[in-house]
Structure 1
Amino acid sequence: MTAVGRDPGLQPERTRLAWRRTTLSCTVVALLAGRQALDSGVSGAGVIAVALSLLAWLGFLGVAHRRVTGLGTAEPVPLSPRRALTAAACTVALAVFAAATLF
């Protein structure tokens, strides 16, 4: 007995929700970094760190949006290595820039 079509079950929905949760977490980190920079006083380094945090957040948001949109098809294509690397780099960069606003 062979399967005619792919039955993904709820896996695409779980993956979509995971991308949304991660995007929400990145948004919170970027907002907290901005708030910390404003609370500690506006300095040149703080403004640069917040701007870079915003850029990293936008990069991750773009990758996540493309992935969530791509999961809406019957047979979603796998995440390309380039997009996976971009998402990972944006996440690490966001953490580094957010930590930089503390110092």
Structure 2
Amino acid sequence: MTGEPPRDPGAQPERTWLAWRRTTLTCAVSVALTARVAVERPSGLAAGAACLGALAWIGLLVTAHRRIRRLSRPRPETMGAAETVGTLACVLVLIGVGGMMVL
């Protein structure tokens, strides 16, 4: 025993789980709208943006699933630097994809 009191998770794991789900759902909707634009106005840029957005969404989804799984542990680890940078990169790609679709 490390002397630490047992974890009282309260509602924190559930709030974090819901936040990850909202984020991945929002990204899925963004990618779906990008794909719709690519179908309605076929161009290389639109198709590329839809594919890039889908890859970023998959990366974000994988990270979210890993993070949610870790929340079930008594003392979940914090996100590592690689996961944090990967998540940030996925979000920035999705922002860029959205910007490309506005043009």
- What TM-score comes out, normalization by structure 2 length? 0.88
Question: Highest relative contact order (Cα 8 Å, sep 6+), 1 or 2?
Answer: 1
Q: Which segment is superposed worse, 64-73 or 93-102?
A: 93-102
Separation in 2, partners of 1:74, 1:26: 30
Give the length in aligned residue pairs. Answer: 101
Do the aligned partners of residues 4 and 45 (structure 1) sit closer, same or farther apart at CA in structure 2, a change above 3 Å counting? closer
Q: What aligned pairs does 1:24-103 form with structure 2 within 5 A after superposition?
A: 24-39=25-40, 41-103=41-103
Unmatched 5+ residue regions in structure 2?
A: none
Separation in 2, partners of 1:65, 1:51: 21
Deviation at 1:101, TM superposition (A): 2.5
The structure 1 segments of at least 4 consecutive aligned residues displaced by more than 4 Å after TM superposition are none
Match of 1:10 in 2: 11
Q: Percent identity?
A: 40
1:2-28 CA-to-partner distances (Å, cap 9, x unmatched) read 973121211111111111111111111
Unmatched 5+ residue regions in structure 1?
A: none
- What TM-score comes out, normalization by structure 1 length? 0.88
